[in-house]
């Protein structure tokens, strides 16, 4: 029998900054995965059974089956902005609050979107591999010629906060024309602030020199870029995905890159990651990074601290900072400190 605890019990499913763990332990009884083992879904469910809250990392599937096994659970706090690991409706019905970590990563992620765009358009990693392999023996006028970035047209699909931060960099820093496509059009003031013009998806794909994907993952956005969409892009264009795996059909993209139907791609996220489609590994005109768009120490720490703010806010004071499904949340989630 576990001794009854006066403090909420929290599970941290991955290793985290020591100062974040320390802050959690000041308020909660914490079980943490300090050695960063890969816990299976079954193991997470088992460890969550007696917990009131969880600090999650955007990877743990929180759905009806898991919730049925965790009667005391009241909140899952993702330290990521993405929350496609949550079945928010099932959580709402069960009275479990989901929270994410928006805003604190916006500018850092936009920086990385631009880094990936530059590396892809200007063939940075491909040329570095060439140099490291000892193949650079002489200068040639066309060697590793890439695509122009300044003054070109950037098409952004998904114009949330990160999309807007990328648009500002493009328009004001690089003199690019920015077109965007989004579920809903931005208001005129925001459009002017981002110097971005709303267009249909097809027009965007046909006219952009660089296409940047920043759309959240959902059933609706699955394979936003499949073979048909890739076929609309200019053969000289590049595609950048910093959103989520599954937004792009990776097999179709690898074929388009191999056949030079588009010039190049930069990918930070993959379908089924950390596995990467072998056909992508086989082509040289793609820059591949392991889901690091928000990875600076300051930003990752701020993301984790926001998740902690959500746990403290909700479990100790009844109000989370960035709730996702507070509207109509069922009764079980009535916060309590025990
Ligand atoms: C996010 O916050 O969703 C980033 O993709 C990091 O996982």
User: Which residues are catalytic, by number?
Assistant: 244, 273, 291
pLDDT of residue 337: 44
40 and 100 together in one domain: yes
Residue among 81, 101, 269, 307 to mutate when testing ligand 1 (max atoms within 8 A of CB): 81
CA dihedral 34, 39, 41, 47 (to 10 degrees): -50
Asked whether residue 140 is domain-assigned, the answer is yes
Q: Are 220 and 169 within one domain?
A: yes
Widest pairwise Cα distance in the chain = 75
- Residue 246 Ramachandran class (φ > 0 left, ψ -120 to 50 alpha, else beta): left
Q: Is 222 buried (19+), middle (13-18) or exposed (0-12) by CB count in 10 A? A: middle
Residues 6 or more apart whose CB falls under 8 angstroms from that of 329 comprise: 92, 95, 97
Q: Are 41 and 21 in contact (CB under 8 A)?
A: no
**Nearest in space to 321 (alpha carbons), one of 337, 301, 332, 305:** 305
- Euclidean distance between CA atoms 293 and 303, whole angstroms: 13
Residues in the chain: 338
Q: Which domain holds residue 204?
A: 106-288
- Which whole-number Å values give the CA distances from 229 to 159, 201, 206, 223, 247, in the listed order? 18, 9, 9, 9, 12
Same domain, 254 and 152: yes
HSE (CB half, 13 Å, CA atoms) of 238?
28
Å from CA of 119 to ligand 1 middle: 21
For residues 260-269, one letter each, b for 16 or more C-beta atoms within 10 angstroms of the residue's C-beta and e for the rest, the string is ebbbbbbbbb
Note whether 95 and 120 are same-domain residues. Answer: no
338 within a domain of the structure (yes/no): no
Domain count, the chain: 2
Residue 288's Cβ-side half-sphere holds a number of Cα atoms within 13 Å equal to: 21
The protein residue whose alpha carbon is closest to atom 4 in ligand 1 is 80
Q: How many CB atoms lie within 10 A of CB 327?
A: 7
- Residues 116, 230, single domain; the answer is yes
Say how many Å lie between the CA of residue 101 and the centre of ligand 1: 9
Q: What is the pTM of this model?
A: 0.94
Do 53 and 157 reside in the same domain of the chain? Answer: no
> Do 117 and 100 share a structural domain?
no
| Per-residue pLDDT at 310 | 98
Radius of gyration of the chain (CA): 22
In a domain, 210, yes or no: yes
User: Same structural domain for residues 89 and 190?
Assistant: no
Residues with C-beta less than 6 Å from any ligand 1 atom: 58, 80-82, 105, 294
| Most ligand 1 atoms within 8 A of CB, residue of 84, 105, 161, 270 to mutate | 105
Asked if residue 261 and residue 156 are part of one domain, the reply reads yes
Whole-number Å distance, alpha carbon 167 to ligand 1 midpoint, is 19
The pLDDT of residue 338? 42
We report the CATH number of the domain holding residue 48 as 3.40.50.720
d(CA 167, CA 110): 9
46 and 178 part of one domain: no
Q: Which residue positions in the chain have pLDDT lower than 50?
A: 333-334, 336-338
52 and 200 co-located in one domain: no
What is residue 333's predicted lDDT score, i.e. its pLDDT?
Answer: 47
pLDDT at 332: 72
In a domain, 4, yes or no: no
Mark whether 120 and 257 lie in a shared domain.
yes
Residue 2 lies inside a defined structural domain of this protein = no
User: 14, 57, 58: which to mutate for ligand 1, most atoms within 8 A of CB?
Assistant: 58
Q: Rounded to whole angstroms, how far apart are CA atoms 204 and 191?
A: 16
The three-class DSSP label of residue 107 is: helix
């Amino acid at each position: 029998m576990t001794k009854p605890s006066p403090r909420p019990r929290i599970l941290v499913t991955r290793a985290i900054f020591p100062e974040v763990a320390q802050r959690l332990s000041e308020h909660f009884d914490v079980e943490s995965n300090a050695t960063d083992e890969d816990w299976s879904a079954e193991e997470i469910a088992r460890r969550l059974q007696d917990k009131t809250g969880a600090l999650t990392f955007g990877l743990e599937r929180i759905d009806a089956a898991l919730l049925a096994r965790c009667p005391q659970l009241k909140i899952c706090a993702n330290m990521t902005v993405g929350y496609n690991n949550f079945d928010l409706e099932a959580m709402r019905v069960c009275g479990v609050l989901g929270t994410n970590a928006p805003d604190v990563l916006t500018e850092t992620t936009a920086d990385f979107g631009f880094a990936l765009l530059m590396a892809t358009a200007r063939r940075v990693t491909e040329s570095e591999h060439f140099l490291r392999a000892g193949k650079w023996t002489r200068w040639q006028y066309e060697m590793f010629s890439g695509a122009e970035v300044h003054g070109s047209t950037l098409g952004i699909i998904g114009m949330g906060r990160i999309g807007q931060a990328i648009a500002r960099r493009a328009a004001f820093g690089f003199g690019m024309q920015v077109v965007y496509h989004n579920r809903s059009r931005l208001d005129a003031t925001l459009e002017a602030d981002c110097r971005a013009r709303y267009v249909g998806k097809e027009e965007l794909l046909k006219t952009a020199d660089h296409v940047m994907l920043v759309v959240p993952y959902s059933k609706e956005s699955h394979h936003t870029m499949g073979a048909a969409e890739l076929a609309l892009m200019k053969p000289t264009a590049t595609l950048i995905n910093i959103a989520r795996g599954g937004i792009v059909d990776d097999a179709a993209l690898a074929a388009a890159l191999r056949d030079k139907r588009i010039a190049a791609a930069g990918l930070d996220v993959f379908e089924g990651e950390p596995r990467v489609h072998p056909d992508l590994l086989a082509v040289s005109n793609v820059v591949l990074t392991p889901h690091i768009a928000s990875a600076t120490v300051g930003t990752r720490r701020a993301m984790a601290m926001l998740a902690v703010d959500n746990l403290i806010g909700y479990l100790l004071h009844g109000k989370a900072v960035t709730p996702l499904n507070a509207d109509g949340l069922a009764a079980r989630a009535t916060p309590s400190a025990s």
